Amino acid sequence: MPGSPPVHRYVGILSCATAFLLGIGLPTSNFIMNLSMVLAVVCLLLSRDTRYVKELAKKPLIWLPAVMFLLLAVSLLWYHNQYGKVMVGKYSKLLYILPLAMFFVLSRSLASYFAKGFLLANAVILLASLWVGVLHMPLGHIDPLNPTVFKLQITHNFFMALAAVIWLSLAFRSQGFKRWGYTLLVCMAVYNIVFMVQGRTGYVALAAAFGVWGLLSLSTRQRLGMVVCAIIVATIVMIVPNRAVERLQLGVSEIKTCLAVTEVGGDKASCDSSMGLRTAFMLESVKLIEQAPVLGHGAGGFWFNISQGEYSINPHNEYLMQTVQSGVVGLALFLGWMWCYFRSAWRLPTHTRNVLVALLCAYLACHLFNSFLLDSSEGHLFIILTAIVASYSVLPPKELIETEQRE
């Protein structure tokens, strides 16, 4: 491949298969995902290509997450929280960015193979979900009332929203039957997220990703058309009874109930609901941050007793999670990482830039309601996206254009 590092033919084949398998594994199986990670390291060892190590290691995209992890690990020396070591273990994925970036540098097509695997897996998941949820045909242990496949509803909806915005971008770049095929996938994915699978995270991801992608990619007339379509769809959704409106109204009600009980010092059990608990977590996080604003309470510093024998060590908000554990220093490192991702992605060719920035904004929005870096699938996906952006940043400008045209 022109401009690619000289790798052995079989290593090249293995690398492409590994990237494709990694894309499939994220939304389907942790075992496949972990196996793909190991295979990526094997590809690096076989290729023996270390030309970009120093250049990549100097990039804030690489070392900022590593410093975040180091801060958590060092906090174990003076904080002895019960779940401190568990948290450090969960955030160890922040160290995977450098080797993954080196892996994606091996061949300029690896990011494309990863995306193809991710989209194929989500297409299969979408069809299986529609098969059970719409046609009511039995398939394994899928629940027709909440037809998630492989993953729980938050992960299912979030990944489906990310796949939908990528399919949308491909629809605008394609012609003929391919365009109509991608458009159909987008429509089915949106229907699956909004009307079939429970959970509200997908709504947030859809709104953020579609809104940002439309703002960056469409002409003024197309943007107006998109806004009009969104208003029409929103009006129909609000008028016609459906699960989406019920879930949104329920969420607002849960927040109000929890706030009302908290103000009068009532029983915490009144906050024992999805959005109620998130509200209680936020209030508890604010108290903890006030106690240790600079360096936080260390790894595993968040603890919330819900009821007898039931507790949470996760505030379900990545911004609060970072601040509670590592203080404003940790939050600054985290936001700096997000900014470096945005700045590096913004320098890429238009199509790639718009998609990567839209995916970033989906994460930033959903971080308000989830600690996605803590979660396995969502966290690993963002680590991989960061590695891809970092690998693109060491490409010469001419090769970036060639990659854009090929993908």
**Cα(238)–Cα(296) distance, integer angstroms:** 43
pLDDT, tens digit, 9 for 90 and up, residues 246-258: 778 888 888 888 8
Distances 145 to 136, 192, 202 between C-alpha atoms, Å: 9, 12, 17
Tens of pLDDT, residue by residue, the chain (407 residues): 444 444 467 888 999 999 999 999 999 999 999 999 999 999 999 988 778 888 899 999 999 999 999 999 999 998 888 888 999 999 999 999 999 999 999 888 999 999 999 999 999 999 999 999 888 888 888 888 899 999 999 999 999 999 999 999 999 999 989 999 999 999 999 999 988 998 889 999 999 999 999 999 988 888 888 888 888 877 877 777 777 777 788 888 888 888 887 776 666 666 777 788 888 888 889 999 999 999 999 999 888 777 665 667 889 999 999 999 999 999 999 999 999 999 999 999 999 999 999 999 999 999 999 999 999 999 999 999 999 999 998 866 555 555 555 55
**pTM: predicted TM-score of the whole model, two decimal places:** 0.91
At residue 99, the 3 state secondary structure works out as: helix
CA dihedral in degrees (13, 15, 16, 17; nearest 10)? 80
Under DSSP, is residue 310 helix (H, G, I), strand (E, B) or coil? strand
> Hey, where are the domains in the chain?
8-48
Euclidean distance between CA atoms 242 and 247, whole angstroms = 9
Whole-number pLDDT of residue 141:
86
For residues 328 and 8, give the distance between their C-alpha atoms in angstroms, rounded to a whole number: 46
In a 3-state reduction of DSSP, which class is residue 100? helix
Q: Dihedral of the CA atoms 7, 45, 344, 325 (nearest 10)?
A: 170
Q: Running DSSP on this structure, what letter comes out for residue 242?
A: -
pLDDT in the model for residue 384: 97
Q: How far is CA 41 from CA 51, 98, 128, in A?
A: 16, 11, 32
DSSP three-state, residue 128: helix
DSSP state, residue 51 = T
DSSP 8-class letter at 144 = T
Q: What local confidence, expressed as pLDDT, does residue 161 receive?
A: 96
CB atoms < 10 A from the CB of 173, how many?
13
On whether the CB atoms of residues 208 and 361 are closer than 8 A, the answer is yes
d(CA 174, CA 386): 26
Residue 305, classed as helix, strand or coil, is strand
The tokens of 356 are what? Answer: 């990567």
pLDDT at 4: 47
Closest-CA residue to 280 (of 291, 290, 292, 267):
267
Note the pLDDT tens digit of each residue in 2-47.
444 444 678 889 999 999 999 999 999 999 999 999 999 999 999 8
Q: Provide the pLDDT for residue 1.
A: 42
Instruction: Let me know: does 324 contact 316? Beta carbons within 8 Å.
Output: no
